[in-house]
Amino acid sequence: MNIQQFLGIFISSVFIYNVILSRFLGLCPFVAISKDTRQAFAMSAAVTFVITASSVVTWFIYRFLLLPFNLAYLRTLSFVLVIAALVQLIEMVIKKASPVLYRAFGIYLTLITTNCAVLGAAVLNVDMFFANGKPVPGSFYYSLFQGFCMGLGYTLAMLIMSGIRERLEFCNVPKAMRDFPLAFVIASVLSLSFMGFSGFKF
């Protein structure tokens, strides 16, 4: 466990294997909510928070519940339920603790339950940081950090996209390409330019 590995996780999950642009997780909100920067930011903040929290929770579930009892095959089922419950819990806590915050991104929390980025991050953590049914050294910190970085990658893509789409409001885009099709083309160009980060060595 050293700084290089954390840097590697950061670069790969924010840029090279960006959740949206390379792994295609959480595409639906990416094209649906990225028209307005304020909304895009609220959504990304909510996603980052939930991904990080669920990375922690699912790590504990997998390490101390599924592995000892030989229930690894229940991974998908248990993760999806845990994430749904977690999102509900966060929603209730925020509603009670900070109504302002709740109004800012409360509605996005409900949408996140079935956001594939959250489940994807949990499954990916387990795939990468557990080997032969045992956690690799530093596994917990890696999972936590990778979850957070995937959230950052999500935020980055969302913010860039929303900035571009706000400007497109003034553009004379061909009728057939408006909205969804152009959003995908822009995402494609973004993905091409993020390739500049591939093959990083420190």
Q: What is the DSSP letter of 20?
A: T
193 binds another protein (CB under 8 A): yes
Among 56, 57, 67, 74, binds another protein (CB under 8 A): 74
- The Cα 53–Cα 47 span in angstroms is 10
Question: Could you tell me the CA-to-CA distances from 166 to 20, 145, 169, 174 in Å, in that order?
Answer: 19, 31, 6, 16
Residue (68 or 199) nearer to another protein, CB: 199
> In this structure, what token pair is assigned to residue 151?
């959230």
Among 4, 9, 25, 133, binds another protein (CB under 8 A): 25
Among 35, 63, 75, 95, binds another protein (CB under 8 A): 75
CB of 123 to another protein, least distance (A): 5
22 binds another protein (CB under 8 A): yes
Residue (92 or 185) nearer to another protein, CB: 185
Residue 146 · residue 121 · CB < 8 Å: yes
H-only helix segments in 37-173: 37-61, 75-97, 99-112, 116-129, 139-168
124 binds another protein (CB under 8 A): yes
Question: Could you tell me the CA-to-CA distances from 4 to 24, 114, 201 in Å, in that order?
Answer: 26, 33, 9
Q: Provide the binding-site residues for another protein, judged by CB under 8 A.
A: 21-28, 31, 37, 73-77, 79-81, 84, 114-116, 119-120, 123-124, 127, 159-160, 163-164, 166-168, 170-178, 180-202
